[in-house]
Amino acid sequence: MSAKFRSEDEEDLIRLKKMLRKVLGDDEAQVRRRLESRDETRILDIACGECREAEVLTDFIADLRGNKDGEVRLTGMDVRAREIEDAQRRFGGKRDLENRPGTRECEFLTGDASKLDQHAELGENFDFVFMRHQNYWNGAKTWEEIYDQALGKLDDEGRLIITSYFDKEHELALEAIKRLGGELISSEFNSETRELITEGKSVDRHVAIFKRKK
Ligand SMILES: C[S@@+](CC[C@H](N)C(=O)[O-])C[C@H]1O[C@@H](n2cnc3c(N)ncnc32)[C@H](O)[C@@H]1O
């Protein structure tokens, strides 16, 4: 990874953390109360690639847990075995959290997220399901299956968070997730988003949070 890429990536991740806080908005107090009442917080990161966001995401959740001891567990999944190996090498295993009690544990699995229900080892009732740069345009049918499975893995009070590269792709993903039983809590545009070479494409351009419709 070049120094330029590394520094862009680090800045993207700082902005992602700000966006997570922003999109949580008024929902934050409710999410905090729930996390504070549980010993373990479980995150499923779908289509995570090499999961560069693993630390930012687990830190963000640990912040919400406050000073509560216990574990923040992240499970990442992607169809690409090489990216998953990289993620496991870089972030896999158990570590203490910085400046707070508790531990973080990350594990990564190669698998098809449109068939999550065939992965019994994942378990159910995740507190958060996360999809960074969901890819609706790259096969709407597959991504609708992925969204459906993602909603199915959420606990009743869990939250699904997505980010998107493009305006229109984000809009289509929001509509599809709502159709599949997601209730949109909030969606925010990232005013500091880093533009990429493709016109209209930028990093974590939009971030949205859902819960399951009752
Ligand atoms: C736009 S990339 C985003 C990767 C990563 N989340 C990021 O933000 O850098 C979309 C990812 O979806 C993964 N993907 C596509 N179809 C999938 C499927 N059926 N199951 C799991 N992952 C899938 C791809 O391998 C790719 O890593």
Q: Give me the sign of the Cα torsion angle 23, 174, 16, 35.
A: positive
How far apart are the C-alpha atoms of 21 and 86, rounded to whole Å?
Answer: 27
Confirm if 53 and 132 have CB atoms less than 8 A apart: yes
d(CA 185, CA 162): 12
- For strands 40-46 and 182-189, give the pairing: unpaired
State if residue 65 touches ligand 1 by the CB under 6 angstroms criterion. Answer: no
Side chain identity at residue 88, one-letter code: Q
Q: Where are the domains of the chain?
A: 3-212
205 touches ligand 1 (CB under 6 Å) = no
What pTM, to 2 d.p., does this model score?
A: 0.96
Best of 5, 16, 43, 48 to mutate for ligand 1, by most ligand atoms within 8 A of CB? 48
Q: Which residue has the tokens 């809009």?
A: 171
Q: How does pLDDT run along the chain (214 residues), one tens digit per residue?
A: 677 777 999 999 999 999 999 999 999 999 999 998 889 999 999 999 999 999 999 999 999 998 778 899 999 999 999 999 999 999 999 998 877 788 999 999 999 999 998 988 898 999 999 999 999 999 999 999 999 999 999 999 999 999 999 999 999 999 999 999 999 999 999 999 999 999 999 999 999 999 999 8
Q: What class is the 3-212 domain?
A: alpha beta
Residue nearest to atom 27 of ligand 1 (CA): 49
CB neighbour list of residue 89: distance below 8 Å, 6 or more residues apart: none
Query: Are 42 and 127 spatial neighbours (Cβ–Cβ below 8 Å)?
Result: yes
Ligand 1 midpoint to CA 10 (Å) = 20
Our answer on whether the CB atom of 116 is closer than 6 Å to any ligand 1 atom is: no
